[in-house]
Chains A and B, each alone.
Chain A
Amino acid sequence: MSEVTRAFLDGMLLKNPVFMTFTGALLAAVIPRSARTSWAPAARYSVVFFFAALLGGALANSLSSALVPLVFVGTSLVSVLVLRHLGELSGEWMGMPAAILAIAPLLGIQMLVAQAGEFAGVVASAGGNSLGFFLAFVLLGAIRETSRISEAKPVFKTNPVVLFSMAVFALALVGFIFW
Chain B
Amino acid sequence: MDGSIRTERVVLLGLVTLLGATVTVVTAVAALAISAAAALVVCGIGRILRPSEKVSDAVRWSVLLTVGFGISWILGPLASYVAPVPERAVLFLQLSGVAPIVYYGVARRDGAGSDGDARVDSLRSWVLFGVILLGTGLVREVFGRGTILGYLIITGYAIPADFMGSPVGAFLMAGAIVLAARLLPGQRIEAEGGVHE
Q: Residues of A with Cβ closer than 8 Å to B?
A: 19-23, 25-26, 29-30, 69, 72-73, 77, 93-97, 99-101, 103-104, 107-108, 111-112, 147-148, 154-160, 163-164, 166-167, 170-171, 173-174
Is B61's CB under 8 angstroms from A94's CB? no
Q: Contacts A77-B62, A104-B16 known; A154 to B192 CB distance under 8 Å?
A: yes
Return A98 CB to nearest CB of chain B, in Å: 10
Question: Are A97 and B8 in touch, CB under 8 angstroms?
Answer: no
Residues of B within 8 A of A112 (CB): 91
* A170 & B69 in contact (Cβ 8 Å cutoff): no
Q: Report A-chain residues with C-beta under 8 Å of the C-beta of B189.
A: 154-155
Contacts of B62 in A (CB 8 A): 77
Docked pose: A41 CA to B51 CA in angstroms: 30
Selecting from B27-35, B98-106, B131-139, the interface stretch reads B98-106
Q: Contact between A158 and B100 (Cβ–Cβ < 8 Å)?
A: no
* A/B interface sample: 24 pairs, CB < 8 A: A19-B167, A22-B20, A22-B92, A23-B16, A94-B100, A94-B104, A96-B107, A104-B16, A104-B95, A107-B98, A108-B91, A108-B95, A112-B91, A155-B179, A155-B187, A159-B178, A159-B194, A159-B195, A163-B171, A167-B167, A167-B169, A170-B168, A170-B171, A174-B166
Q: Which residues of A contact B19 (CB under 8 A)?
A: 22, 25
A17 to B115, CA, bound (A): 37
Given contacts A22-B170, A158-B192, 17 further A-B contacts (CB under 8 A): A19-B171, A22-B20, A73-B66, A73-B69, A77-B62, A77-B66, A100-B103, A101-B100, A103-B65, A103-B98, A154-B193, A155-B187, A159-B195, A163-B175, A164-B172, A164-B175, A167-B170
Q: How many residues of B contact A (CB 8 A)?
A: 53
- Closest CB in chain A relative to B123 CB, distance in Å: 16
B190 at the interface (CB under 8 A from A): yes
With contact pairs A25-B19, A159-B193 given, residues A111 and B12 touching in the complex (Cβ less than 8 Å): no
C-alpha gap A23/B178 in the complex (Å):
20
**Is the CB–CB distance between B69 and A160 below 8 Å?**
no
What B residues does A96 contact at CB under 8 A?
Answer: 61, 100, 103-104, 106-107
State whether A154 and B191 are in contact (beta carbons under 8 Å apart), knowing that A100-B61, A104-B99, A160-B179 are contacts in the complex: yes
Query: What separation, in Å, do the CA atoms of A23 and B17 have in the docked complex?
Result: 9
Q: How far is the CA of A21 from the CA of B110 in the complex (A)?
A: 32
The residue of chain A having its C-beta at the shortest distance from the C-beta of B183 within the complex is: A155
Please determine whether B103 and A171 come into contact, CB atoms closer than 8 angstroms: no
Q: Which residues of B contact A94 (CB under 8 A)?
A: 9, 12-13, 100, 104, 107, 197
A112 to B111, CA, bound (A): 35
- In order of increasing CB-CB distance, the 6 nearest A-B pairs are A157-B193, A163-B175, A167-B171, A95-B107, A96-B107, A170-B167
